[in-house]
Amino acid sequence: MNKIEGVILDWAGTAVDFGCFAPVNVFVDIFRNAGIDVTMEEARAPMGMLKIDHIRAMLSMPRVSGLWEEKYGRAFNEEDVERLYGEFEPALMASLSTYTDPIPGVIETVKELRGRGLRIGSTTGYTAGMMEVVVSYAERKGYRPDVFFTPDDTHSCGRPYPYMIYRNMEHLKLSAAWKVVKVGDTASDIKEGVNAGVWSVGVAVGSSEMGLSPEEFESLSESERAEAIMSTRQTFIRHGADFTIDTMRDLPALIERIDGLLSEGKRPGHHYE
């Protein structure tokens, strides 16, 4: 039967932690401790990657690498990456449990999808140790997917590699990539889905890409919200998303639409909006 069998969700910024603030603040802090002032935009740009890869990507940014050379008189090296990551992990772990609230609409959406017989997987840029905290606290608050995989399960090959998605497919017994939907809130999420050959969907509200807290989003006027959503969706489209949605509440209707496309013989890899 040509229908979607499973949905694979990202965690922070998609399922929990509206705005994906847990890691962002820590990235800014560890660079500041090293004498480098990075912007929130720079801290967010590689979001979704394995966190040590994220630090490496930030150090590789022309402005940041220039500041590093100016301060230290040399280019950054792997020892610098590992030292920064050594500060990052304990700092994140100390605050992680407070950033595990499910994003509005997620619990209801997952319940509806399960009611249709779909399986719910997940991937993340967090390590297995970080996910022990996130999964435990999120479950107490009503959210738990059927399975989760981290880059630790794929020899540290996180996004944009597709391997975490493939591990989900194997575990959940999903029969074909084109019967799977991946939903995320970053460019890395979209690339992960594209590279896996699944339907790649970007969700705007609550996303790291939008970068707003619930209070900041609520304070926007209707036209400002529409503009923020449109800008975020355009970013996902530029990175290859098949579809974009405003919120997770829009996902069940989108999956019905994808089922219709599958019945027509359509496959992922095109922008259908």
For the chain, give every domain's residue range.
6-20+100-263, 21-98
Known binding residues: 10, 12, 185
Virtual torsion, Cα 203, 243, 11, 110, nearest 10 deg: 90
Catalytic residue among 17, 51, 182, 242: 51
Whether the ω angle into residue 160 lies within 30 degrees of 0, i.e. cis, is: yes
51 classed as catalytic: yes
125-to-35, 48, 259 alpha-carbon distances in Å: 26, 5, 29
Known binding residues for Mg(2+): 10, 12, 185
Range with the lowest mean pLDDT among 46-50, 143-147, 269-273? 269-273
| pLDDT tens digits for range 101-119 | 999 999 999 999 999 999 9
| pLDDT tens digits for range 25-48 | 999 999 999 999 999 999 999 999
Mean pLDDT estimate for the chain: 97
Matching residue, tokens 């995989």: 149
CATH code for the part of the protein at 6-20+100-263:
3.40.50.1000
266 classed as catalytic: no
What one-letter code names the amino acid at 262? L
| pLDDT tens digits for range 174-200 | 999 999 999 999 999 999 999 999 999
Matching residue, tokens 């990235």: 27
The CATH H-level (homologous superfamily) assignment of domain 21-98 is Putative phosphatase; domain 2 (1.10.150.240)
pLDDT value at residue 79: 97
